[in-house]
Amino acid sequence: MKKGLCFLTIVFLFLSSSFAYPLTADEIVEKAEEAAYYAGKDGRADVKMIIISASGKKRIREFTILRMNTKGKDQKFYVYFKAPSDVRKMAYLVWKHVGKEDDRWLWLPALNLLKRIAPGDKRTSFVGSDFYYEDVSGRDIKDDKHILLKETDKWYVIKNVPKDPDSVEFSYYLVWIDKKTFLPMKAEYYDKQGRLYRRIIAKKVEIIQGYPTVVEAVAEDLIRGSKTINIFKNVKYNIGLKERIFSERFLRRPPREVR
Amino acid sequence: MKKAFFLFIFLLFPAISFAFSTEFLGLEIHGFIDARYGQRVREDRNEKDQILGEIRFQTDITGQLRDIIFQVKADFLYDGVCDDRKLDLEGTRSPIDLREANISLSPFYFIDIKIGRQILTWGTGDLIFLNDLFPKDWKSFFIGREEQYLKSPSDAIFISLFPSFANIDIAYTPKFDPDRYVKGERISFWNPIYRRRTGRRNVLNAIEPNNWFKDDEIAVRIYRNIRGWEAAIYGYYGFWKDPLGFDINKRRPFFPRLLSYGASIRGTYLGGIVNSEFSRYVSKQDERGDDPFIPNSEIRFLIGYEREIAKDFTARFQYYLECMEDYSRYKETLPSGYVSKDEFRYLFTMRLTKLLMSQDLLLCLFTYYSPSDQDAYIRSLIKYKLTDEISVMIGSNIFVGKNDYTFFGQFEKNSNIYVALRFNY
């Protein structure tokens, strides 16, 4: 009898893990955040940003980005610009704090000056592109309520509604999350009139060191008609970054990881 | 002949660097061509109407040999206003303005060293400097050159140490690097000797300390980041950076000795950035404050706040105070007929920055306003990036003041507007 119970328990445990309870919207979003922004202990990528205005004018930004996960969900970012030449050698440092204002600095090599940047609105354009600061470092998932709208065999479709509607320009946004990789593959933003005005699509995904990684993404401003293509190259994870790199010393003297 | 020679050099270097643009023998070569023109908006009988007219070609070469990084940044300048083509690597009045020429290395993991000509700066002020006693180029600042030209280079050794408790920076300048101060050749100013504004017919001829290792300067900063708050203490021993002393025997201005120390803090607060800084200037040649021809010791204080008030729109405000020590002794000893300074000079600054059109268009307004001096200085700039390489600018430097002798008021006749075109490569 005892043996039988034990066996049943094992069977039950096995079943419950393989035929898992359906995930809640919050759990899905948490897994998606993990996959999109926290892969590995640290990472690096060379980024090429192609900004195309409505009139077809092209702008190129090239930079190397280093990321390190620190305490809890906090992270540090180091962005080192390589092109165009008027921003070359500028470096942007972020200490991201979850639930608190981030600390941000900009290193201006021509002035040999470390400028502190006002925390401000994270939903403003990153270096003139159609991506926002928040798209680069990740939006705090606690800022939105998440509703699982639809589940297909390929996608979870999540509706995200801001808890503080006055703090953002959207009324809600939808995210399509890949069920296998948990990567967000598409996001559509609706404005206060309910109009679709902004879209981000992950165009290409590669498995790098076991981590599914978006290597090409496009952000479109559907009202202005501009778009930005982000291409990620030389992506590497767990490169053994030291936390001291994310400091004034290494803004003055860029570490070899970015040069 | 001489003219032709300089023209040749002026064209040769840019041509070479241009030909091998971006990469050559592992060197990175970049730079820009910048042409600008500025005109006075008020008549100044002491100066030409044209305040700025130049073509500048900057070449910036960086390379690396193992762990040693070297950099040379030189500006080849054709200056149509001050046409003195003497080769003078210390000033801006020459066809070559060598901005940087240095090597940097990290011999041990806890030490970084940079040797040679370099741009140095520190402190928390926005266009106000308390503990930053590295040379400034006020002439370039006032006539409409790019803001980066306010910082003029130092010939120094800069050592950074990184013990566990703090970071330590030491800047040693073996021969005093003064500010590129207003002398009169291009900008008219209040001349206390003549008790009126003077200009290019009465160029200030100051005695500059120029003995290597004797007339040296040392500046130290110890700083630490405490949970996002940047705290620093500073020290400096050298000279007042402008010729504020007057040698009665030689009838020439000079640079009196200066010792200074201070502290600063900067961090995020109330959704913005707060900064505060103080310093004490000890005028070593007039510690009692009874020599009217040498500035008295001073306390300086600054507090500022910056925040983003709308999308791509930031505002920054500062309050700045200079307080003269031993004021009663200064008043007692000041010869009659001289304009007396106030015990307290204070001012407010406001910077508004707005980015438009995918950050291609920049609008910037910076105002200094001093209620104690009853004067103001308003800087405006509109910059538009036509492409990643080409930008156009239009700006102005407007000085107003009730009196002719106050800090900004004295420059009233130099108020100007300028236009510029820049090509980056």
Task: Determine the pLDDT at residue B171.
Answer: 98
> B-chain residues within 8 Å CB-CB of A76?
none
Decide if pLDDT at B156 tops 90. yes
Nearest-CB residue to B307 (from A53, A111, A120): A120
Q: Which residue of A has its CA nearest to B229?
A: A103
Q: Which of A82-96, A167-181, B71-85 has the lowest mean pLDDT?
A: B71-85
Task: Determine the pLDDT at residue B7.
Answer: 53
Task: Determine the pLDDT at residue A9.
Answer: 62
Look over chain A and give the mean of its residue pLDDT values, rounded to a whole number.
90
**A200-210: pLDDT as tens digits:** 999 999 999 99
The C-alpha of B419 sits at a distance from chain A's nearest C-alpha, in angstroms, of 19
Domains and CATH numbers, chain B: 2-424 (2.40.160.10)
Tell me, letter by letter, the H, E, C secondary structure of chain A: CHHHHHHHHHHHHHHHHHCCCCCCHHHHHHHHHHHHHCCCCEEEEEEEEEEECCCCCEEEEEEEEEEEECCCCCEEEEEEEEECCCCCCCEEEEEECCCCCCEEEEEECCCCEEEECCCCCCCCECCCCCCEHHHHHCCCHHHEEEEEEEECCCEEEEEEEECCHHHCCEEEEEEEEECCCCCEEEEEEEECCCCEEEEEEEEEEEEECCEEEEEEEEEEECCCCEEEEEEEEEEEECCCCCHHHCCHHHHHCCCCCCC
Kindly report the pTM of this predicted structure. 0.87
Task: Determine the pLDDT at residue B33.
Answer: 95
**B255-312: pLDDT as tens digits:** 999 999 999 999 998 889 999 999 999 999 999 999 999 999 999 999 999 999 988 8
Average pLDDT over residues B89-114: 83
**B351-387: pLDDT as tens digits:** 999 999 888 999 999 999 999 999 999 999 999 999 9
Q: Give the Cα separation of B146 and A111 in Å (integer).
A: 11
Nearest-CB residue to B307 (from A86, A118, A249): A118
Decide if pLDDT at B44 tops 50. yes
Q: Which of A2-16, A211-225, B36-50, B57-71 has the lowest mean pLDDT?
A: A2-16
The C-alpha of A248 sits at a distance from chain B's nearest C-alpha, in angstroms, of 9
For an interface test with B, the pick among A86, A112, A124, A169 (most B C-beta atoms closer than 10 Å) comes out as A112
Helix (H) or strand (E) holding B226: strand B217-226
Task: Determine the pLDDT at residue B271.
Answer: 86
Q: Assign domain A22-252 to its CATH superfamily.
A: Lipoprotein localisation LolA/LolB/LppX (2.50.20.10)
**A131-166: pLDDT as tens digits:** 998 888 888 999 999 999 999 999 999 999 999 998
Average pLDDT over residues B156-167: 94
Q: What is the ipTM of this complex?
A: 0.84
pLDDT band at B12 (very low <50, low <70, confident <90, very high): low
Residues of chain B that touch chain A, judged by Cβ-Cβ distance less than 8 Å:
30-32, 64, 69, 104, 106, 112, 118-121, 147-148, 151, 160, 162, 167, 223, 225, 228, 230, 266, 268, 271-273, 275, 306-308, 311-312, 314, 358-360, 387-389, 391, 424-425
Query: Domain limits of chain A?
Result: 22-252
Decide if pLDDT at B335 tops 80. yes
Cross-strand partners of A157: A150, A176
Q: Is the CB of B151 less than 8 angstroms away from the CB of A112?
A: yes
Decide if pLDDT at B1 tops 60. no
